[in-house]
Amino acid sequence: MRKISRLAETWWDYTTLDEQIMRDAAQLSEKDLLQLSRPGFKVIFHETLEEFYLAEALQYIEAWKQSTAAAPAGICGPIGPTEQLPLVAQLVNSLEINLKNCHFWGMDEWYEHGTEVPDTHPLSFVKANRDLLFNKIKPELRMPEENIHYPLASNLAEYTKSFDEIRCVTMQGGQGDAKHWAFNDPLKRSGAYADAPPTAEEYRQLSARIVDLHPITLMQNARTSGGGYVVGVPMQATTVGPVETWKAERVSIWQAGNHDNPFGMRLTAFMISKGIVDTAVPMSLLADHPNVEFHYYRKAIKSVDTEMH
């Protein structure tokens, strides 16, 4: 019998892991973290936030410059972080990159009242991408609306199919407190998963879908986007899944210290590096992806110490 979560007893999450895994991860120094790189998994440090977000923005440009009418390509990108998005627009405008043959996938969107939230919702990811990125690009350079793909309740199958029709050069993401990418949260501790979380093979079969959000994901988003007003955060979302993620040539995770904490930033890298896959820590599934990068703002790594402040 696995341990009961310390955070939400009717859910799976990282607190149900073997404690030795957590102790080993917590003890990692900055140097240890960097040395977790291995074939298929690369740990990269950035010394300044300017360097960090510019490097993230340049992955958009790198992907879009590879796209042609005959061989379309694009990037799947997050809301969280978002600081890279205005930089992407600035680069497109300054370099005069015509995006007419380029594609973009949004990773996720909030869902409530039986459908995705409208783009007028203050937390809408569609709205954030439009306001921070696409509306800042010169009209003559913008990609067509039909080249922008979101996992909406009405088009999940079409969204999944697009990853077979268009080359996804890079899937970017952040890491939340639930150790997720996009909204691939741990599952509830119920039904077939009452005594053990799903196997990696079962979780890997999940494609774009509507998901229930772990309570710590609700708390995180209330903290980062709602002043702590958790009842204002939808309890469900639509999300890109592992099925689409494994069709991306590269998975690139960006951690500036604003979303997960020093322990979480160590835990997932440790598990991926060592091939420890457990769906209570969804990010650990990336141990089996052939090309994963973890980017860190070095000053955010800090240490995992227990002390009063």
Read off the pLDDT of residues 95-140 as tens digits, 9 standing for 90 and up.
999 999 999 999 999 999 999 999 999 999 999 999 999 999 999 9
pLDDT at position 22 is 98
Instruction: For the chain, give the percent of residues with pLDDT over 90.
Output: 97
212: Cβ–Cβ under 8 A, 6 or more apart, which residues?
185, 188, 235, 236
Which phi and psi angles does 181 have, rounded to 5°?
-115, 145
- What would the pLDDT profile of 67-101 be if each residue is shown by its tens digit? 999 999 999 999 999 999 999 999 999 999 999 99
Compute CA 74 distance to the chain's CA centroid, rounded to the nearest angstrom: 16
Q: Residue 33: what pLDDT?
A: 98
Which distant-in-sequence residues (6+ apart) come within 8 Å of 304 by Cβ?
26, 27, 262, 263, 266
Predicted pLDDT of residue 116: 97
Query: Mind listing the pLDDT tens digit for each residue in 274-309?
Result: 999 999 999 999 999 999 999 999 999 999 988 877
The count of other CB atoms within 10 Å of the CB of residue 205 is 12
Nearest to 39 by CA among 289, 253, 295: 289
Q: What is the pTM of this model?
A: 0.97
Could you give the CA distance from residue 64 to residue 6 in angstroms, rounded to a whole number? Answer: 43
> What pLDDT does 98 receive?
98
Q: Which fold has domain 14-26+38-300?
A: Rossmann fold (3.40.50)
Q: How far is CA 279 from CA 71, 197, 254, in A?
A: 35, 6, 20
In this structure, the number of other CB atoms found within 10 A of the CB of residue 105 comes to: 23
Residue 308 confidence (pLDDT) = 79
What pLDDT is recorded for position 193? 98
User: Closest Cα to residue 270, out of 16, 35, 40, 39?
Assistant: 35
Instruction: For the chain, give the mean pLDDT.
Output: 97
